[in-house]
Amino acid sequence: MDKKELIKLYLQNVDKMFGYANMDAYIDERLKKYMKYCQSKKQEEQIIIWLKLLHENFRKKIVYLGSYLALQEKDMSYLNNAFNSAVTWGQLTITNSSCDHSIYAWNVLPHIFCANRFRDIENIFPKENGLSKNGLKSACSITNLVMYLYYQEPAWKQYVIEESKGFLQGKHTSEEMAVISTFLSLFEKDWEKFSLELANLCKAHKKSKDYGENPFTRKISFFAFGLYNFARYLYKEEAKNIILPQNEFLFEDFRIYQESNNYQTGQSFCVFEEPLLLLNDLEKIDLPIMYLTAGKKRLLDIENYRQEVVKKIQALHYDQSSWS
């Protein structure tokens, strides 16, 4: 698609998706939240407040702004940095839900793949959590496919294959079907089918009716590009057999940028100044692992996770006395 048309679509839809027209608007929104909720709070309280404040599609808004700036400025580093920050904030700001680790499948995982931050799979899908069994069917299947492909645990293989093939026998959205089919073809290392399913996924995303989708967001399938990156990560040279989707912004300009930069992860999308320095610190820490609670219905252990974040910030470079 014409890049000028993508820029136009972003500006036409930015208000509808409560996004940011430019970097200044992005920073200004953070400042408003700080003034309203954090100004009079202690540092430890501020951390918890930020983790709660920034959960609502924050990571997506970063990536959409990064896409726009990359196109507008003709500099793909904006998008590479946006993916990097989106992965961090997507993990930090996950909220309580009735699901297990499958909650990450549609929300954070595609950005992890796009950012080439594959080790973060160990944060969101730690092997100790085991396979997912509590969540949206497509999300559970995606989670389990990724866990098997990443950890190569033989005991999981049969269950994961049967679950995914069973899913494809049901009635689901075209995008869900395309994602599962693409993962299965990756599982089988069937590059012809994988290539076909990547193209199908791009087409399906263009027709998505999911909440928050608009004419701009439908033009870019982060999951499709992420799956290509995951295949390249897993199978190295064999991934050269993949035929890439045509006329797709990510598979052209951005793929070439990442390849020419040896798939290096990005930097922080934005370096904040006073009084928002805490946001920089949150991007500097080694992110904790998200474990599940005990019991029959295992859920994300959000409270322990947030306490780990607080400890890591305290250990970063602040003297304990400054937190009193």
Q: Would you place residue 17 in the very low, low, confident or very high pLDDT band (cuts 50, 70, 90)?
A: confident
- Looking at residue 37, its pLDDT comes to 95
pTM for this one? 0.95
Between CA 156 and CA 243 the distance in angstroms is 30
Mean pLDDT of the chain: 93
Integer angstrom CA distances of residue 214 from 153, 176, 221? 39, 18, 12
Instruction: Examine residue 275 and say whether the peptide bond preceding it is cis (omega within 30 degrees of 0).
Output: yes
- Looking at residue 57, its pLDDT comes to 63
The dihedral over CA atoms of 151, 166, 117, 272, expressed in degrees to the nearest 10, equals -140
- Looking at residue 3, its pLDDT comes to 86
Nearest to 301 by CA among 97, 146, 132, 137: 97
Between CA 60 and CA 214 the distance in angstroms is 13
Cβ neighbours, 10 Å, residue 150: 17
Whole domain around residue 228: which residue ranges?
A: 3-323
Burial 69-82 (b: 16+ CB within 10 A, else e): bbbbeeebebbbbb
Between CA 96 and CA 302 the distance in angstroms is 7
Q: Which two tokens stand for residue 251?
A: 């598979």
Integer angstrom CA distances of residue 226 from 144, 221, 231? 17, 9, 9
What kind and span of H or E run contains 194? helix 191-206
- Residue-wise pLDDT tens digits, 18-67: 789 999 999 999 999 999 999 999 989 999 999 988 876 667 899 999 99
- Looking at residue 324, its pLDDT comes to 43
What's the structural domain count of the chain? 1
| Chain position carrying tokens 């698609």 | 1
According to DSSP, the residues that pair with 300 across neighbouring strands are 292
- Residue-wise pLDDT tens digits, 189-213: 999 999 999 999 999 999 998 888 9
- Residue-wise pLDDT tens digits, 163-181: 999 999 999 999 999 999 9
Mean pLDDT value of segment 113-138: 97
Phi, psi angles (nearest 5°) of residue 267: -100, -170
- Looking at residue 319, its pLDDT comes to 47
